[in-house]
Amino acid sequence: MTPKKNSKKEPPSRPQDIDTVFDILEELWGNEKNEPRLGHEEPLDGLILTLLSQNTNDRNRDKGFAALKNSFPSWELVASASAEAIADRIRPAGLAKTKSERMLQILAALKERFGEYSLMALKDMDNDAVREYLSSLPGIGAKTVACVMLFDLGMSAFPVDTHIARFCRRMKWAAESLPPDEIQPLLEEWVPERRFLGGHVNIIEHGRGLCHARTPECGKCPLHSNNLCPSVQE
């Protein structure tokens, strides 16, 4: 009998130039040396903020979050509000009905697990346990989990948003068809942990500043001038 071929694809190998690319991005944007403070004293704030960011931009996310906190200064007050009242406040962030319902489900889950509306208890748990718990919450995907872990809990994670996914595909580190939640574990394996926060922000700023979705400014990009980007658009 002819043995069956193994249809499982081998994971991509670590790009040889990845350290050089991260070095150049650091020279350009400098967020490893001067790490930005992106977290919240209460990690639940970061979780809800990232929930609101789904399918919208940062400005609309921030408008929705500010309106929510202005009307309901504590998570206890949010938990006691109706989904309709919450949806009315977070409407600038879009998908208000879905996000308000998920928010109440998350708060109920926290109350049941920890006895309070807080994620501070996660700071005493290990990375795997935190990732597993956050992933179990309704409406919370890999990017949101990684954002809360990295920014709000100071744990090891490398969030992959649209900017980072686009960058990895243009660098040919990931196939065009590879979704962000499958790019994330690759970066967490390839990138030294000490570079997670600053390196993540450097790629975000590069995506916003030069490596735009539609009209990347390749002529201004040092990755182009150093012959490191295989997707240069003239």
Kindly state whether residues 119 and 55 are assigned to the same domain.
Answer: yes
Q: Is residue 78 part of a domain?
A: yes
| Number of domains observed in the structure of the chain | 2
Kindly state whether residues 164 and 181 are assigned to the same domain.
Answer: yes
| Separation between Cα atoms, residue 215 and residue 88, nearest integer Å | 36
| Separation between Cα atoms, residue 31 and residue 24, nearest integer Å | 12
Q: How confident is the model at residue 6 (pLDDT cuts 50, 70, 90)?
A: low
Q: How confident is the model at residue 188 (pLDDT cuts 50, 70, 90)?
A: very high
Provide the pLDDT for residue 157: 97
User: Mean per-residue pLDDT for 52-58?
Assistant: 92
Kindly state whether residues 82 and 23 are assigned to the same domain.
Answer: no
Which of the listed residues 130, 152, 174 is the one where a domain comes to its end? 152
Q: Is residue 10 part of a domain?
A: no
Query: Looking at the predicted structure, is the pLDDT value of residue 9 above 90?
Result: no
Rounded to the nearest 10 degrees, what angle do helices 162-170 and 196-209 cross at?
80
Query: Looking at the predicted structure, is the pLDDT value of residue 17 above 80?
Result: yes
Q: How confident is the model at residue 2 (pLDDT cuts 50, 70, 90)?
A: low
Q: Is residue 126 part of a domain?
A: yes
- DSSP-assigned letters across all residues of 47-76: HHHHHHTTTS-HHHHHHHHHHHHHH--SHH
Could you report the per-residue pLDDT of 201-220, keeping only the tens digit for each?
999 999 999 999 999 999 99
Kindly state whether residues 107 and 146 are assigned to the same domain.
Answer: yes
| Separation between Cα atoms, residue 61 and residue 48, nearest integer Å | 10
Provide the pLDDT for residue 203: 97
Query: Looking at the predicted structure, is the pLDDT value of residue 4 above 70?
Result: no
Q: Is residue 6 part of a domain?
A: no
Which of the listed residues 152, 181, 206 is the one where a domain comes to its end? 152
Q: How confident is the model at residue 233 (pLDDT cuts 50, 70, 90)?
A: low
Query: Looking at the predicted structure, is the pLDDT value of residue 42 above 60?
Result: yes
Could you report the per-residue pLDDT of 111-142, keeping only the tens digit for each?
999 999 999 999 999 999 999 999 999 999 99
Query: Looking at the predicted structure, is the pLDDT value of residue 1 above 60?
Result: no
Q: Is residue 71 part of a domain?
A: yes
Which of the listed residues 132, 152, 172 is the one where a domain comes to its end? 152
Q: Is residue 54 part of a domain?
A: yes
Q: Is residue 13 part of a domain?
A: no
- Chain center to CA of 113: 24
Could you report the per-residue pLDDT of 145-181, keeping only the tens digit for each?
999 999 999 999 999 998 899 999 999 999 999 999 9
User: Mean per-residue pLDDT for 75-87?
Assistant: 98
Domain that holds residue 137: 43-152
Provide the pLDDT for residue 135: 97
- The helix or strand, by DSSP H or E, that contains position 127, with its residue range, turns out to be helix 127-135
As a whole number, the mean pLDDT across the chain is 94
- The helix or strand, by DSSP H or E, that contains position 18, with its residue range, turns out to be helix 18-29
Provide the pLDDT for residue 8: 60
**What CATH number corresponds to the domain at position 171?**
1.10.1670.10
Kindly state whether residues 63 and 96 are assigned to the same domain.
Answer: yes
Do residues 98 and 56 lie in contact, with contact meaning Cβ atoms separated by under 8 Å?
A: no
Kindly state whether residues 120 and 175 are assigned to the same domain.
Answer: no
